[in-house]
Structure 1
Amino acid sequence: MSFKERRKSLQKIEFITLSIGAQDFCMDIILVREIRGWSKVTTLPHSPLDVLGVMNLRGAVVPIVDLSARLGLGRYEATDRDVIIITLIGDQTVGFVVTAVSDIVELSRDEIQPMPNIGEGAENLFVKGIVTSDDKTLRVLDINNIGDSMALAREIA
């Protein structure tokens, strides 16, 4: 490994930790625009099962995705205690419903271990790796891949 590659691998990246039910995940904080409390969404006919609907965010129509369903963990019934993580994927604003957002952690690329090859499930497509932080095992979400997987902008627009 060259000096430049080694230096890049040691640089710290900030991740936001979140949970979906009892499952722990994290995502690159640079993609997060805001975190807001749950609010009712407007459902759309013929939308994919993991798209809960859309919400008005300061005049912009934003698709809201059930991250649990998108990851293949089953559909999640949102409650008033849940939160929506508003992200920017390319030029599309997308909201993901999660149970909770808990912390910000700094990780280097070296700390992220590759996902074990255990099948073809959705979680394997959308998880970049695994890291252990504060006695928790966190799966590192690939938010860009999650958004690209179903071309949300074209489905919802």
Structure 2
Amino acid sequence: HDLGNPPFGHSGEKAISTFFSEGKGQALQQQVEAEGGRWTDFTCFEGNANAVRLLMHQFKGRRKGGFALTYSTLASIVKYPYSSELSGGKNKFGFFASEEDDYRIIADELGIPCLGEDPVCYTRHPLVYLVEAADDICYQIMDIEDAHKLHLISTEKAKELFLNFFEGERRQRRINN
């Protein structure tokens, strides 16, 4: 689901947002809005929404439907299932205006309920929680690996931290192997 994140993660998102809200990108606001775009998609840039765009968009010379992923797979990466207009300027939203109609179709087909009166604010698909848990686990593992590679922690400390992911008998089996 981090496929759409710019270099430097949240700092990169902030740089893109700032370019459009405070920098030279401001000059594009009228053009974006005239072409049916949503300005908050630019001024509150969100990497997760960009991932949805990358996976759904048909790029020049590529097959129709983008990566042609299942609706469940696409819905599983939409951590914030609403548009930038509903994010309250928090930079957390699930899809750009350009993918809003596509997400509506996905939500309807999968039976994802709307929240409240707004037709573009949904509950999360159940698989989002698994993706989020996997993301947390991966980042913890990568942090330990990075700390070890940078010699911030010893090999023994890295092993100890990795073993903390296991309990009881499973942990003991890992120690014995």
TM normalised by structure 1 equals 0.23
Task: Flag the structure with more relative contact order, 1 or 2, with Cα contacts below 8 A and sequence separation at least 6.
Answer: 1
Which one has a larger percent helix, Structure 1 or Structure 2? 2
Larger radius of gyration: 2
Which one has a larger percent strand, Structure 1 or Structure 2? 1
